[in-house]
Amino acid sequence: MPLKKFKPTSAGMRFRQSPDFSGLSKKRPEKSLVQAKRRQAGRNVQGKVTTRHRGGGEKRFYRVIDFKRDKDGVPARVASIEYDPNRSARIALLSYRDGEKRYILAPDGLKPGDTLVSGPEAEPRAGNCLPLENIPVGTQIHGVELEPGRGAQMVRSAGGVAQLLAKEGEYAQIRLPSGQIRIVHVRCRATVGQVGNLEHENRKIGGAGHRRRMGWRPAVRGVAMTPRDHPHGGGEARSPIGMSSPKTRWGKPAMGKKTRRNRKTDRFVIRPAKKR
């Protein structure tokens, strides 16, 4: 989906690039698949702020997405491609032959009127969901399960794509967008193709007002604070951070430190993610 530019009527609009929604459906979302969404403003169940700089923004409704794709053998027609405010990818409304409707992540190249099928007998083409054991080696996939029947958990954002590298016994090797190579059971399902809305990474917000409407509040730099408020604070005029590495407000390493620590799943990672 291409990006559109605006007339430079203000400093914020001069460099702004937003998605062009011309290819999306004009109708309202399917009422039976929409739920109310309560805003948390970055707080946990105790009401404490765990993610800073969040709050406000436009009201959103949650679209119920079918991540399991467990309606096997029933053909579904793509009724529309729609916008979802809760994720970077576009969503597709599927109308099954028996009358049921479900939302899925829209893969790249999917158009209204296409027919999709899920299940072991499905053809490995874009949009179809089937177990890894039925997908040819080398195929590009997204929406990958970690456990059979649990639903897609990996590779769900706009433009995301993984590749099935090999199959050996009960496990398959998958290269994720981060470069990590991971082992997944062959009975886990994945959707063939790449997630749509490839131009999402090239958009430019432009102004702070747009950012606020997205639910993001201002972030103050640590070097602009006092020493008691942040490890980077203090000093006369512009001062270096004065430490060997950037820190968070609470003195923890902010960049470069590995945070993954899961002994239960470490054995499933063959090659770690690439260093950024």
CATH superfamily of domain region 220-268:
Ribosomal protein L2, domain 3 (4.10.950.10)
pLDDT < 70: residue spans in the chain: 1, 276
pLDDT of residue 258: 81
DSSP code, position 31: G
Q: With the C-alpha atoms ordered 146, 150, 154, 155, is the resulting torsion angle positive or negative?
A: positive
pLDDT of residue 276: 63
**DSSP string for 64-109:** PB--S---BT--EEEEEEE--TTSSS-EEEEEETTS-EEEEE-BTT
Over the Cα atoms of the chain, what is R_g?
A: 22
Q: Residue 98 in contact with residue 74, Cβ under 8 Å?
A: yes
DSSP code, position 134: G
DSSP SS3 for 10: coil
pLDDT digits over 77-121, tens only? 999 999 999 999 999 999 999 989 999 999 998 999 999 999 999
Token code pair at residue 187: 């009975």
Q: Hey, where are the domains in the chain?
A: 19-201, 220-268
In CATH, 19-201 is 2.40.50.140: yes
> In degrees, to the nearest 5, what angle opens at C-alpha 30 toward C-alphas 209 and 64?
75
pLDDT of residue 1: 64
Q: Can you tell me which residue has the tokens 């590298």?
A: 165
- Picking from 143, 202, 243, 151, the residue whose alpha carbon sits closest to that of residue 16 is 202
Cα–Cα separations (whole angstroms), residue 254 to 151, 234, 251, 258: 32, 19, 9, 10
